[in-house]
Chains A and B, each alone.
Chain A
Amino acid sequence: MTTIGAAGTKEPRPVITLAMGDPAGISPELTARLLALAEIREAAHIIAIGDRRVLDEGAKVAGVALDLEAASLDALDRASTSRHVFVDLAHLDPADVVRGEATLAGGTFATRNFRTALELARAGNADAVCFTPFNKKAMRFAYPGYDDEIRFVADVLSFTGKVREFNVLEKVWNARVTSHIPLKEVASHLSVESILAELELTRACLKDAGHDEAKIAVAGLNPHAGDGGSFGMEEIDIIEPAVERAKAIGFNVEGPLPADTVFLRALKEGFNAVLTMYHDQGQIAMKLMGFDKGVTMMGGLPFPLCTPAHGTAYDIAGKGIADVGASREAILLAARMAKRKKALAAAA
């Protein structure tokens, strides 16, 4: 197990770097709440990264008292693990934060925190990375090439492998074959190979999360899953053959199933994940099944990367009413996956 921490002490909990997200939203108060939760302390050792003044403002809003070990980046190995660690980059004066506004200052703050968190994991100082919500507009001010988290992570880590976003609710995961592309391009992105690759990654990530015999449902593309070819041929030409090939290599998978009921069936019939063909096919149902409790997990990286599925919630920032549930689930999932990944690696 990881041996970061005071001289030679064994740290049984996975180490997770937690990047403070957009300072104009609920990220500061969420970060403070997370660092104060007993449940998180039991599951993980956190190295939080941000500005202490901004964090303290968040703690005030959240009404929590923080007991943190201060450490600098070059002295992390000497920091105690008896308390969560805070790395104060001292790069944002709270006076420069305007609540509810996406700014260059906010984007610069969040991108630097995130980059630092990722680099620590790459250097082996952490087993997983989490972050509180970013504002995409602010991220783009600070990093003009910012497309989404996946792209940024790939840039920072010079990672060329396949990274995919999974949406995770307690009962069911959602993986998707296509994501942030125009709807009219979806059909042309589907192939037997692309669907099989998603199924493989989904099964691997579910395994890291503790589901050894994952059962996966595959959605159709068209209304009523094409209704036997009446409303589109992709089910017959692409999705069915992909599902058959997956079954042939030992996957527990079913589909294509009509998209309007696939999640209801998944819950009823105990599927661990639903593979959807496009963004909103999964997102509409997932958000209705637990909008505030969802977690986004980026699979395929050398380490788990998790964040709450919700956004910066500018409308309620600073009011102390933000629900920490999704952020807590994000850290608990990252911790579970990191622990399992290490156990599997140790056994191999």
Chain B
Amino acid sequence: MNETSGGPIALTMGDPAGIGPDISLCTWALRRSQEIPPFLFIGDPSVLFERAKALGETIQIRETDCAGAAAAFSDALPVLPIRCPAAVVAGQPNSENAVTVTGAIDTAVRLVMNGEATAVTTNPIAKAVLYEAGFRFPGHTEYLADLAEKATGAPTLPVMMLAGPKLRTVPVTIHIPLKEVPAALTPDLIYKTSVITAGDLKRRFGVAAPRLAIAGLNPHAGEGGALGLEDDAIIRPVIDRLRAEGLDVAGPLPADTMFHDRARETFDVAICMYHDQALIPAKALGFDDSVNVTLGLPFIRTSPDHGTAFGIAGKGIARPDSLVAALRLAAELAANTAGAPR
């Protein structure tokens, strides 16, 4: 995939005490058999070195930059070094190293914004650990959006997509209590989420005329108001507006019947109203291969669909499947974006 990209994928370290270093090593080791696109690991090389030792692997690490990453990639794992101030123990997060965790993200965004890297793939972070160090964002994605806003000066609405081999879903609301979902579902939010999703499907996913399936909120999509009013009162008018603007949109669809094989053939993405409405089908249809993609950013960002898994860090049992899928998808999106008219 080297020839399709102008630079490597910037891969952030994530929490060094989590499985990020483990799966990054495993993924690099699979570079030939799995055709892993070249990436530049941004973080502490000694963490990788120690983790490789713990896993009983011998590994070549080369400190380099974006320009040198692709050339190094077949022989050594390329690392842009940012060092942790405190000792790293697998499974034992330390908020003193939070500065390196966020520093790796800052660096990755800088590299992708100035064109040296083609995409950002992030390893998992632990919010609680960062909060102890004064981190003020609800999560990874919001932090990336803030960096994007600072870089471009334009307001950014990050949109989460779960992309699997069989299904793409986008939750309109994400990490909020279920009972707060109806109030959070404003027409504006559903509209903007849909427009950003359709735009990114065109520009980055190579879907010329994206077909959106928008889920209802209530059982049976409200059944004409008998089982809830939001489907007709809030979601349907947004669908009418999107259609009037020329988008191919179906809905509001009953959430329980929109994900089976035949139904999925009729759309490119499902816009869901809440976290589990998007996550239940995504995980049922592709547990290990699902990738998180953040849409709406001025750059490509993918991440594996799991957390730091402190409990298994350094034990050699963390599966790299989702990181492999995240890197591959990042490369694919970068190739599509490079070929698409801006």
**Residue ranges of A at the interface with B (Cβ–Cβ < 8 Å):** 179-184, 186-188, 221-224, 226-227, 230-234, 259-261, 263-264, 278-281, 283-289, 291
Contacts and interface: CB of A to CB of B under 8 A. Distances in A.
Nearest to A229: B177
B165 to A, nearest CB: 14
Question: Interface centre among A222, A234, A291, by most B CB within 10 Å?
Answer: A222
Contacts of B47: none
B166 to A, nearest CB: 10
Interface stretch (B50-58, B142-150, B273-281): B273-281
The 6 A-B residue pairs with the shortest CB-CB distance in the complex, in nearest-first order: A232-B177, A182-B228, A283-B256, A260-B279, A187-B179, A279-B219
A231 B259 contact: no
B284 A289 contact: yes
B303 to A, nearest CB: 16
Contacts of A291: 260
Given A184-B228, A223-B176, A287-B256, 17 more contacts: A180-B223, A180-B227, A181-B228, A183-B178, A183-B230, A186-B178, A186-B179, A188-B179, A222-B178, A260-B282, A260-B283, A280-B219, A284-B280, A284-B281, A284-B284, A286-B256, A287-B259
B337 interface: no
Chain A contact residues, majority secondary structure? helix
Contact of B277 (A188, A234, A284): A284
A260 B176 contact: no
A265 to B, nearest CB: 10
Contacts of A179: 219
B257 interface: yes
B167 to A, nearest CB: 10
Interface in B233-280: 255-257, 259-260, 274-277, 279-280
A264 B285 CA distance: 10
B164 to A, nearest CB: 12
Interface residues of B, number: 35
B284 A263 contact: yes
Contacts of A221: 178
A179 B219 CA distance: 8
Interface in B282-313: 282-285, 287
Contacts of B220: 180
B218 A183 contact: yes
B99 interface: no
B227 A181 contact: yes
A158 to B, nearest CB: 24
B175 interface: yes
B199 interface: no
A182 B227 contact: yes
Contacts, number: 111
A285 B284 contact: yes
B256 A184 contact: no
A178 to B, nearest CB: 9
Interface string B169-192: 000001111110110000000000
Given A179-B219, A183-B228, A285-B280, A223 B175 contact: yes
B177 A183 contact: no
B229 interface: yes
Given A183-B182, A264-B284, A280-B277, A233 B260 contact: no
B109 interface: no
B227 A287 contact: no
Given A182-B218, A222-B177, A232-B178, A287 B279 contact: no
A231 B179 contact: no
A183 B260 contact: no
B325 interface: no
B179 A184 contact: yes
Contacts of A186: 178-179
Contacts of B274: 223
B217 interface: yes
B178 A288 contact: no
Contacts of B175: 223-224, 227, 230-231
Contacts of B176: 223, 231-232
Contacts of A227: 175
A2 to B, nearest CB: 37
Contacts of B281: 284-285, 288
Contact of A187 (B178, B276, B280, B282): B178
A182 B229 contact: yes
Nearest to B254: A280
A287 B257 contact: yes
B181 A261 contact: no
